[in-house]
Amino acid sequence: MFIIENMNSAENSKNTYTEKLNQIRTTLSSIEKFKTSKGSIYKYTGLGETERFKAISGETYSRSGLTIFVRPDPYLEQEFLLAYQHKDPSKKTDVWVAELEQENIFRFIWSINDIKDPNNVFLVISNNNEIVKSTKAELIPSIGAIPFEISKFNINNKPMAYRHMGNEISEISQ
């Protein structure tokens, strides 16, 4: 009985999450870049951080704070795109990367170092600080997944966030 109780303790869960995060970090450090179905190339510049080259325009975008990967159904994907591209300021609707900490309690994530439990990372739409839609996120790219970049920065001492949802991943280079 003691062994089972000990294995289910919070400390054991924390060690499991730490081990999984270390495995994710090792895997991410072995990936050089990935390419999307529209030809954009995302190069890893740090753990979980990418720099995107947009093939259509020839532009290179600055490094993300975190790039995650999702597989939402087409309808939900459109909802995410509309939520951050065509914001209605009166609704305070936005898109974030968040970690589920307890039932219905999310914490926003800006980098891989902010993550405590890699099994509970989601892409979410919030409205007035309440989560209204979400989809499970992964930290490692895979063919067919959709990348989502998020970064925070300051302009004239005002905090700003950059978000971008890409196209399906078609190729991964190690």
Between 109 and 15, residue with greater pLDDT: 109
Quick one: pLDDT band at residue 92, thresholds 50, 70, 90? confident
Specify which residues 123 forms β-bridges with: 97, 135
Sequence ranges of the domains in the chain: 2-173
Q: Taking residues 48-76, what's their average pLDDT?
A: 93
Tokens of 152: 């925070």
Indicate the pTM of the whole model: 0.86
- Vertex 76, ends 144 and 92: CA angle to 5°? 130
Categorise residue 81: left if φ over 0, alpha if ψ from -120 to 50, beta otherwise. Answer: alpha
pLDDT at 5 > cutoff 90: no
Q: Which of 42-51, 88-97, 100-109, 128-137 is predicted least confidently?
A: 88-97
Residue 171 pLDDT exceeds 90: yes
pLDDT at 14: 65
Is the pLDDT assigned to residue 141 strictly greater than 50? yes
pLDDT of residue 17: 87
For residues 8 and 23, what is the distance between their CA atoms, to the nearest angstrom?
Answer: 21
Kindly calculate the radius of gyration of the chain based on its CA atoms and give it in whole angstroms. Answer: 17
CA distance 48 to 68: 8
Instruction: Report the pLDDT averaged over residues 116-126.
Output: 93
